[in-house]
Amino acid sequence: MKHTISVLVENQFGVLARISGLFSGRGFNIDSLSVGETEDPTVSRITLVVKGDDMIIEQVIKQLNRLVDVIKVSDLTKDDFIDSELALIKIPCDGKTRSEIMQIVDIYRGRIVDVALRSLTVELSGSEENVRGIMDLLQEFGKLEVVRSGKIAISRDRKNTRGNNHK
């Protein structure tokens, strides 16, 4: 099962290497990872998506918690959460296909950010399924070039994933 894990860490060099090293050292793959500063500039939030059974995920969370630079770990999968990712997709097109592509992009609430003679570039944010869905459709028009940000996620309502009550 896929788990979305939110990790609050000290915003300093080497932290990402420690986190990714935990996974690579065990031969686990990280499906997606995104990092950015939070409302507190000394703290960064990492959103990780990993696959694994309960025992593996339990170990992943415990091992993350064990790192000195990790302030708090939350497995968002257990509760309600909102997630989103950003994708930039470049699609080959010509005069005949352009409008058809634009219609699809519109349905998916994407935004055309660049139009060239032989291609269109779309910016799309949303769930992983949303991004996957538009990619499946657009593949009809030729080979796509895709850049994805990796998932970011936040828990719904009042559930606290901030670090003020320690882990």
Partner 1 sequence: MTMMTGAQIFVESLLRENVEYLFGIPGGVVIPVFDALFDSPLKVILTRHEQGATHAADGYARATGKVGVCLVTSGPGACNTVTGLATANMDSIPIVVFTGQVPTPMIGNDAFQESDIVGITRPITKHNFLVRNARDLARIIKEAFYIASTGRPGPVLVDLPKDVAVTETEYVPVSEVTIRGYKPVLDGHVKQIKKAAELINASKKAVIYAGGGVILAGAAKELVQLAHKTRLPVTTSLLGLGGFPADDKLFLGMPGMHGTRFANYALSECDLIVAVGTRFDDRVTGNIKEFAVHAKIIHIDVDPTAISKNVRVDVPIVGDAANILAKLIPLVTRTDNGNWLKQIEDWKAQYPLTYKDSDKEIKPQYVVEQIYEATKGEAIITTEVGQNQMWAAHYYKFKSPRSFLSSGGLGTMGYGLPAAIGAQLGRPDKVVFDIAGDGSIQMNIQELATAVHNRLPINVAILNNHFLGMVRQWQELFHNRRYSSTCLLNNPDFVKIAEAYGAKGMRIRKKKDVRPAIEEAIKTPLPVILDFEVAREENVYPMVPVGAGIHQMIGGLA
Q: Applying CB under 8 A, which residues contact partner 1?
A: 9-10, 13-14, 17-18, 21, 25, 55, 58-59, 62-63, 65-71, 163, 166-167
Distances (CA, A) of 60 to 69, 87, 124, 165, 167: 15, 27, 31, 21, 15
Query: How far is it, in rounded angstroms, from Cα 136 to Cα 29?
Result: 24
Q: What is the dihedral of CA 52, 58, 61, 67, to 10 degrees?
A: -120
Query: How far is it, in rounded angstroms, from Cα 135 to Cα 81?
Result: 24
Please report how close the Cβ of residue 34 comes to partner 1 at its closest, in angstroms.
20
Alpha-carbon Rg for the chain in angstroms: 19
Comparing CB distances to partner 1, the nearer of 13 and 143 is 13
Comparing CB distances to partner 1, the nearer of 64 and 124 is 64
Query: How far is it, in rounded angstroms, from Cα 31 to Cα 153?
Result: 14
Please report how close the Cβ of residue 10 comes to partner 1 at its closest, in angstroms.
6
Please report how close the Cβ of residue 35 comes to partner 1 at its closest, in angstroms.
16
Q: Which tokens is 148 given?
A: 């994805």
Please report how close the Cβ of residue 71 comes to partner 1 at its closest, in angstroms.
5
Comparing CB distances to partner 1, the nearer of 50 and 71 is 71
Comparing CB distances to partner 1, the nearer of 11 and 84 is 11
